[in-house]
Amino acid sequence: MFYLALSILFSVLLLVNFRIFPKFEISTFQAIAFNYPVCFITGILLMPDGQHFALDFTQNWTYYCLALGVGFIITFVLSGLATQKIGMTLTSMANNVSLVIPVLFSLLVFGSAGKVFDWINYLGLVLAILAVAIATFKADSGKKANFWLQGGLALAVFLMYGITNTTINYLNIEVIRDAERVVPVTLVMVLGAVLAGFLMLVYRLIKGTEKIEMKNVLAGITLGVPNFLSFYLIILTLGYFGNSGAFVYPIYNMGVILVSALVSVLFFKEKISNLNRIGLLLALVAILMISWQEVFGL
């Protein structure tokens, strides 16, 4: 549980970074691009004795991990944009309710704990989708453009986080399997993000839409360290709990939602409407219902 708690805190810290970037006129894209080399270096420093990083192109999973790195870039860009456009609390909401996707795969495809969905699980799935719609609605979104921007960003974050977390869970079951392989395999994923971010940054520099500044590089450090640690710790947590994504993800996601809401209200004075609060409450209830068997050990 200690690893899980730390993973929650580092995940919230990522949203805090995105939230304060506009205040310091930091390029969110550059911070994301620079954060992955920092992630890679952090992983190398955490590499246990006797282990080393290597790319084995004879293994199919190497290509999967590199491709997943591209997904990381896309997901992070969407998360940063959503945090700045619809707020930290609501982005966290859309992000973490995306657990319905890895949980569905964990229960129905990966055979986690041999559980089968019942009516409570399915009702939780419906509530989760409803919660995203309610929580991301704002009273001032009467303009259709604003409404579709909020809803579109929330849906994009929901889908991308769900897809990447499902893939991570699959790789954890099929490739990592034991703690000794966590860092080496994770670094292959991060390398994919490094390459994708570098190519995108070069393209934007040539096009003239980006200009490298030192503050953006420093922002990449404040983003990269917690980014890798949150990812690394959730993989360790999955391994500790027998790779049961249906058990780990609900607790992790509820924790991130609650801590994010608390931080956003206390430190950033974000206003949450009564309708948004209902959405957040529905999300927590939905998370419990989706994986009630694993959470309560039944």
Amino acid letter for position 292: W
User: What pLDDT shows up at residue 113?
Assistant: 47
Q: Which long-range contacts (CB under 8 A, 24 or more apart) does 196-203 make?
A: 196/69, 196/70, 196/72, 196/73, 197/32, 197/33, 197/34, 197/36, 197/73, 198/33, 200/29, 200/33, 200/73, 201/29, 201/30, 201/33
pLDDT at 261 over 90: no
Q: How confident is the model at residue 17 (pLDDT cuts 50, 70, 90)?
A: very high
> What is the average pLDDT across 110-123?
66
Q: Are 78 and 203 in contact (CB under 8 A)?
A: no
User: What pLDDT shows up at residue 141?
Assistant: 47
pTM of the model: 0.80
Q: How confident is the model at residue 298 (pLDDT cuts 50, 70, 90)?
A: low
pLDDT digits (tens, 9 = 90+) for 192-239: 999 999 999 999 999 988 889 999 999 999 999 999 898 788 877 877
Q: Are 73 and 193 in contact (CB under 8 A)?
A: yes
User: What pLDDT shows up at residue 102?
Assistant: 75
The CA distance from 281 to 70, in Å, is: 33
The CA distance from 97 to 16, in Å, is: 19
> What is the average pLDDT across 71-96?
85
Return all residues near 148 (Cβ < 8 A) that are at least 6 apart.
none
User: What pLDDT shows up at residue 294?
Assistant: 63
270 by DSSP, 3-state: which?
coil
**% pLDDT > 70, the chain:** 84
Mean pLDDT value across the chain: 81
The CA distance from 218 to 232, in Å, is: 22
Please choose, from the candidates 10, 270, 288, 268, the residue with its C-alpha nearest in 3D space to the C-alpha of residue 128: 288
pLDDT at 268 over 50: yes
What is the C-alpha end-to-end distance of the chain, expressed in Å? 19
Give the sign of the dihedral formed by CA 85, CA 87, CA 88, CA 94.
negative
pLDDT digits (tens, 9 = 90+) for 120-177: 877 887 888 787 777 666 544 445 545 566 677 888 888 898 888 788 777 777 766 6
Burial grade of 116 (CB within 10 A; 0-12, 13-18, 19 or more): exposed
The CA distance from 298 to 161, in Å, is: 27
Query: Domain tally for the chain?
Result: 1
pLDDT digits (tens, 9 = 90+) for 37-58: 999 999 888 887 777 787 888 8
> Which tokens belong to 192?
């994919």
Return the minimum-mean-pLDDT range out of 10-24, 33-47, 144-158, 279-293.
144-158
More confidently predicted of 78 and 175: 78
The CA distance from 195 to 276, in Å, is: 38
User: What pLDDT shows up at residue 115?
Assistant: 53
Boundaries of domain holding 42: 2-295
pLDDT at 86 over 90: no
Please choose, from the candidates 73, 13, 76, 42, the residue with its C-alpha nearest in 3D space to the C-alpha of residue 186: 42
The CA distance from 189 to 175, in Å, is: 12
pLDDT at 62 over 70: yes
Q: How confident is the model at residue 105 (pLDDT cuts 50, 70, 90)?
A: confident
User: What pLDDT shows up at residue 82?
Assistant: 87
> Which tokens belong to 156?
């994009």
Please choose, from the candidates 152, 153, 168, 158, the residue with its C-alpha nearest in 3D space to the C-alpha of residue 99: 158
> What is the average pLDDT across 73-86?
88
